[in-house]
Amino acid sequence: MAASNDTILGVLILARHGDREGFYQDPTTYTATTTVITPLGTQQEFQLGQELRSIYLNASSPSFISGVNGTLVNQTQVYVRADAGGELGVIYDSAVALLQGLFPGNSNYTTDLANGTTVEGALGGYQYVPIESVEPNEDVSLEGYTDCNTFDDWTTEFYNSPAFLQKSNESAAFLSQLPPYLDGRPVTLENMIYDFMNVQFIHNAAFAKALPPTFLAQALALASYHEYGVFSSPQAFAGRTILPIMLSELESIANASNPLKLAYQSLAYKPFLSLFNMTGVAQQNPELAGIVNYAAAVALEVRQPSSGGEPVIRFNFKNGTGQEFVTYNFLGTTGDVPLSALVNHVNPALINSTADWCTVCNNTQDRGCGALALAASQASAAAVKANVGHHQRISPVGAGFLGAGLTLAVFLAMFGVLAFVGVLTVGRGRSKARSTGSKDSEEKA
Ligand SMILES: *[C@@H]1O[C@H](CO)[C@@H](O)[C@H](O)[C@H]1NC(C)=O
Ligand SMILES: *[C@@H]1O[C@H](CO)[C@@H](O)[C@H](O)[C@H]1NC(C)=O
Ligand SMILES: *[C@@H]1O[C@H](CO)[C@@H](O)[C@H](O)[C@H]1NC(C)=O
């Protein structure tokens, strides 16, 4: 992050969760039925938060965000979302830990009571920043790849591609050496087991000692090939669904009349793969075409060049704890890129709403698609019946609103149903309850 005279308007942070442990209980699917962040994971995220603080919230840093309040949180300047999907609380808890490093306790976080007493916030004036828990069933933006038939078809196609089959052949000899380390897991390139090995390698001393020295790196290389292939173009669902909210955050930051200065999304690794592909950063920097480490982070800076002109984006990436932020070229060019160029580049691929997602993913059941399909069929049934004059038997949503106002009534009712089930909410609904999540394929790799 080189110094310059640009004004830093703000930053969008995308960070992977920290170290976690899973208990792999299902003998068939090996789904990690319980997975929790570890103390190591909280340290990784906390340190990332501290580092981001030193870069963006420290008034003497060259990248200090213009006008940000780095001591006492101004909640209109900060917007945080966390994926509440298959990794249960791991991603949410990562956001909590990162925020503790980003906005540490401050003795000025106090309130003067009517009776004359001054009270400091808990934990030495710790400031609680709202975290929007993004439930996959209510909002497709952070896990656009689950329950998506088109994505599944693409994945199968990739597995059957000549390149994948060749990779599979090439890796067969290596894979055949793995069973002693996998506790009975089936070893195939489709079902790469890097994640299991990595968790064991970090937490299980006997495993770490027994594993031949190159095996983890070899397994990672294969998992990276596998996951980049699955999550990059042409489907790139993880990126296509997260980008609309990312672009709206970047545009809010760039817009002087919007207070937003620091947006942060706490994520699994999958969106990184899609985004690295869709922004071209992986094409220009092949080392980015793979799985990122725990607590890896992208920091997209929104900068107002001192020379004037429109705001530009600088792409910084840090590959986990102990690594430095590095600035990368992207979008097939060098240096910072105008925000509008990024928008134009990704625009054709965006999946902007749940309705779009249901169509693109060929899903009429899950994640709000059922309600959308029902509302659409009720609306069309109502319209058909209205035309033939059987007003009394119009679908329930139309009942009681017969006559001239029928179409409008049905439309409004449909809108009401959608709003009720949450499918019309695209981001910015704060502080939903945490849930225990839905399926996710994090453990596959
Ligand atoms: C003022 O109110 C606070 C909060 O209820 C209480 O803890 C404190 O003891 C009160 N102080 C006095 C002087 O009454
Ligand atoms: C993304 O990766 C695919 C290969 O998986 C590649 O063919 C495509 O060109 C990449 N996308 C972009 C935008 O460069
Ligand atoms: C990030 O780290 C992983 C694991 O160490 C590695 O495979 C990958 O190439 C790294 N990416 C970059 C951009 O350094």
Q: What is the pLDDT of residues 14-49, one digit of tens each?
A: 999 999 987 655 545 555 567 899 999 999 999 999
Q: Are residues 358 and 293 in the same domain?
A: no
Q: Are residues 328 and 365 in the same domain?
A: no
On whether residue 35 sits in a domain, the answer given is yes
Q: Are residues 243 and 364 in the same domain?
A: no
Query: What is the spatial distance between Cα 80 and Cα 394, in angstroms, rounded to a whole number?
Result: 44
Q: Are residues 256 and 145 in the same domain?
A: yes
Give the distance (Å) from ligand 3 centre to CA of residue 348. 29
Supply the pLDDT for residue 155.
86
Calculate mean pLDDT across residues 202-221. 94
Q: Are residues 284 and 408 in the same domain?
A: no
- Nearest protein CA to atom 13 of ligand 3, as residue: 288
Q: Are residues 268 and 387 in the same domain?
A: no
Q: Are residues 266 and 376 in the same domain?
A: no
Pocket of ligand 3 (CB under 6 A): 220, 224, 287-288, 290, 292-293, 319
35: CATH: 3.40.50.1240
Pocket test of ligand 3: the residue of 44, 197, 220, 319 to mutate, having most ligand atoms within 8 Å of its CB, is: 319
Chain segment 133-158, per-residue pLDDT in tens: 998 888 888 888 888 888 888 888 88
Among 296, 320, 350, the domain boundary falls at: 350
Count of all residues that appear for the chain in the document: 445
Supply the pLDDT for residue 287.
92
| Atom from ligand 2 closest to the CA of residue 289 | 2
Q: Are residues 368 and 329 in the same domain?
A: no
Q: Are residues 385 and 362 in the same domain?
A: yes
Check: pTM over 0.75? Answer yes or no: yes
Chain segment 65-124, per-residue pLDDT in tens: 999 999 999 999 999 999 988 777 999 999 999 999 999 999 999 999 999 999 999 999
In the chain, % of residues over pLDDT 90: 58
Query: What is the spatial distance between Cα 388 and Cα 385, in angstroms, rounded to a whole number?
Result: 5
Three-state DSSP class for residue 190: coil
- At 350, the amino acid letter reads L
Given a cut of 80, whether residue 1 has pLDDT beyond it is no
Supply the pLDDT for residue 31.
55
Q: Is the CB of 433 under 6 A from ligand 1?
A: no
First to last CA, the chain: 32
On whether residue 179 sits in a domain, the answer given is no
In terms of DSSP bridges, do strands 118-120 and 262-267 run parallel, antiparallel, or are they unpaired?
unpaired
Give the distance (Å) from ligand 3 centre to CA of residue 144. 24
| Atom from ligand 2 closest to the CA of residue 283 | 14
On whether residue 228 sits in a domain, the answer given is no
Q: Are residues 266 and 407 in the same domain?
A: no
On whether residue 78 sits in a domain, the answer given is yes
On whether residue 382 sits in a domain, the answer given is yes
Q: Which among 311, 308, 297, 296 has a CA at the least distance from the CA of 263?
A: 297
On whether residue 17 sits in a domain, the answer given is yes
Chain segment 362-418, per-residue pLDDT in tens: 888 888 888 887 787 777 766 656 555 444 433 333 333 333 333 333 333 444 444
Three-state DSSP class for residue 177: coil
Among 321, 350, 379, the domain boundary falls at: 350
Chain segment 257-307, per-residue pLDDT in tens: 999 999 999 999 999 999 999 999 999 999 999 999 999 999 999 999 998
Residue 37, domain extent: 7-149+233-350
Q: Are residues 397 and 257 in the same domain?
A: no
Three-state DSSP class for residue 399: coil
Residues 6+ apart with CB under 8 A from 138: 367, 368, 421, 422, 423, 425, 432
Among 305, 320, 350, the domain boundary falls at: 350
Q: Are residues 329 and 249 in the same domain?
A: yes
**How many structural domains compose the chain?**
2
Given a cut of 80, whether residue 196 has pLDDT beyond it is yes
Given a cut of 60, whether residue 171 has pLDDT beyond it is yes
Calculate mean pLDDT across residues 187-205. 86
On whether residue 380 sits in a domain, the answer given is yes
Give the distance (Å) from ligand 2 centre to CA of residue 234. 7
On whether residue 102 sits in a domain, the answer given is yes
Query: What is the spatial distance between Cα 182 and Cα 287, in angstroms, rounded to a whole number?
Result: 27
Q: Which two tokens stand for residue 256?
A: 């002087």
Q: Which among 265, 192, 199, 190 has a CA at the least distance from the CA of 35?
A: 199
In terms of DSSP bridges, do strands 262-267 and 7-16 run parallel, antiparallel, or are they unpaired?
parallel
